[in-house]
Structure 1
Amino acid sequence: MGKIERKVVLKKDVKDSILSYCKMKHPSEGILILRGKSKKGTITVDGLVIPPFSYSDQTFAGFPQSFLPFDLSYVGIAHSHPSGSASPSVTDMHNFFGLVAIIVQSPYEKDEDIFAWDSAGNALPIIFE
């Protein structure tokens, strides 16, 4: 049996909200929880949650996971990189949450500024709907 190739489907309103939130938080990083579902390797993101008690500065954003209500619709996180690089840092990988990490690079303007990664640091294709 072959390995399932993962991909991310990002709904337009969610994409627009992520870009707006990242712009609003700049020059600090912004962080959001992704809501959706995963089926047969396709991670569909159709909602966002601002994590309670989140904190950020110009090089890090996080939140205490112990304050999150239990919710099976959480599929990952999105956060911005004000530096302009969309590659996950070592810290990003150590704080991985869910199935996917979306990293948005400055200037947070277009689809090409949005990247998705799995927990091993592999890039995942994004389909914008």
Structure 2
Amino acid sequence: MIFSKKEKPRRTITIKKEIRDSILSYCKMNHPNECILVLRGKSRKGRVLVEGLVIPPFFHTGPTFAGFPHSFLPFDTSYIGTVHSHPSGVAKPSVTDLHNFFGFVSIIIQSPYEDGDIFAYDRDGNLLETTISSD
């Protein structure tokens, strides 16, 4: 008898327009260093909605890294992932990005930080569908 695996549906990511604008501005302000933010929102049935941002406490950044100690982040069930920039202009997640995955989604913004420079990934490094909401 042959059993088929039921494929898990891929997550879809929706980012509110004002949140997208804030992320892009933050990346531009911190260039040429990487920047990092924690995403707040909701995840339901594979649909992730990004509704807010948090600057993580004690974050550290440089031209090729950005991070923060997770233990200092106050407990909040609305954390859904992180967003960080890649000043190099390449938005693929690094091995370090995947090993430090936090939440449901990791969003990478590549330089020059414009509308088409936003990419979302799951914890396996698979590209996720991303849309911007005008609500």
Give the TM-score of the pair, scaled to structure 1.
0.97
Q: 1:115 aligns with which of 114, 119, 129?
A: 119
Counterpart position of 2:15: 10
Give the TM-score of the pair, scaled to structure 2.
0.93
Counterpart position of 1:45: 50
| Equivalent AA in structure 2 for residue 102 of structure 1 | I
Higher mean C-alpha deviation, range 43-52 or range 1-10: 1-10
Q: What is the RMSD computed on CA atoms of the aligned residues? A: 0.8
Structure possessing the higher radius of gyration over alpha carbons:
2
SS of alignment partner, residue 125 of structure 1: strand
Partner Cα separation in structure 2 for residue 124 and residue 109 of structure 1: 18
| Equivalent AA in structure 2 for residue 116 of structure 1 | A
Structure 1 residue 3: Cα displacement: 2.2
Q: 2:82 aligns with which of 77, 80, 91?
A: 77
Partner Cα separation in structure 2 for residue 60 and residue 2 of structure 1: 34
SS of alignment partner, residue 56 of structure 2: coil
Identity of matched residues, % = 63
Paired residues, what number?
128
Consecutive unaligned residues of structure 1, counting only runs of 5 or more, are: none
- Write out the 4+ residue segments of structure 1 that deviate beyond 3 Å after TM superposition: none
